[in-house]
Amino acid sequence: MTTLPDEDDLLRTFLALETPPGFRAQLINGEIVLSPPPDGAHVTALSLINRELLRRSSTEVLISGTKGLIVPGGRFVPDGTVCPEDWFRGKDPWADPAGLLMVFEVTSTDRHRNRGPKRRGYAAAGIPCYLLVDRSERKVILFTSPEGDDYTVHTQVAFGKPLDLPAPFSFTLDTGPLR
């Protein structure tokens, strides 16, 4: 008979992992997930979103692609963590997401995690906005108004169509370059 590790053992194992350079480890709904370095199209999409948020947001923001977040359902590392200027200062490697403005993800080989478990974890943590660039569906989805373990509002546009971002960003995201 095989016994499953308890949550404390799993968390200790996860936190002790040494990942290969460029790889990212996450704990998603009781499963340790190791992601390889992203491909060029993935990095291009991340860079375009970063550039627009930094240039056009109506408030000063910082963005990280490496910040670990403790959310219901695990320990996630979003492709982009968007926060007020002083949010990162003094944070541990794995931080409570209270005070974040938005997270964003660009789908990779295992896109169902971005569409389901990660979306629900971000909502349950109260992160006000979750932007998903879904490369396989060729659309961008903005999830807002978290309630319980999901977002109650979502707006989706096909690549190439404009997407209005709410305050504190307050600009229209041009998704054309994501094509």
Q: Structural domains in the chain?
A: 38-178 (3.90.1570.10)
> Residue written as tokens 């005070």?
99
Reading across the β-sheet that carries 61-64, which strands appear in turn?
A: 61-64, 80-84, 102-106, 129-134, 139-147, 150-158
Instruction: Note if the bond before 5 is cis, omega within 30 degrees.
Output: no
Burial of 18 (0-12, 13-18, 19+ CB in 10 A): exposed
Tens of pLDDT, residues 118-133: 999 999 999 999 999 9
Distance between CA atoms of residues 20 and 135, nearest Å = 26
Residue 113 is predicted with a pLDDT of 80
Residue 2 is predicted with a pLDDT of 52
3-state secondary structure of 161: coil
Summary mean pLDDT of the chain: 93
